[in-house]
Amino acid sequence: MIQPAAYKNCSEFYEVVKTVEFVMPYGGGDTQFRIEALHDQQSGRFSTRVSYHEHFHLQPSYPVVSGKFTTKPGDFQVWVPLPNAAWTDRNTADEAITQALGFLGAH
């Protein structure tokens, strides 16, 4: 197990201890979500990070040769942090995930 006290330049340490994925309506269609339960190594409490799966068509920034992109634009799948996701704080990973699911209206 990592000992946070050994890393003096790190002010916070979290371990992702559980992840759940589910699909529910969001933004006009069914959307895949991911909730990660984070264990705060200093306090022992659990919080969550909520993301949703999104598809993008992007132009990669690198590499560039002679001022031109050498890679063509392409389709990418990305986990995007859910803006304004409610803060969770619980004693266990399951309690934190349950709290996040409640805030999302997943009932």
Listed by start position, the domains of the chain span: 11-104
Please work out, in degrees rounded to the nearest 5, the angle formed at the alpha carbon of residue 26 by the alpha carbons of 24 and 27.
155
User: How far are the Cα atoms of 24, 38, 47, 68, 93 from residue 43, in angstroms, in the given order?
Assistant: 32, 11, 11, 49, 14
Q: Given a cut of 70, is residue 30 above it in pLDDT?
A: yes
Residue 79: the pLDDT is 97
Lowest average pLDDT, out of 32-46, 58-72, 77-91, goes to 58-72
pLDDT of residue 107: 59
Whether residue 80 is predicted with pLDDT greater than 70 in this model: the reply is yes
- pLDDT tens digits for 33-57? 999 999 999 899 999 999 999 999 9
pLDDT at 4 over 70: yes
- Give the mean model confidence (pLDDT) for residues 5-33: 93
Whether a cis peptide bond, with omega within 30° of 0, leads into 63 is yes
Name the amino acid, one letter, at 63: P
What rounded mean pLDDT belongs to the chain?
93
- Asked whether residue 18 carries a pLDDT value surpassing 90, the answer given is yes
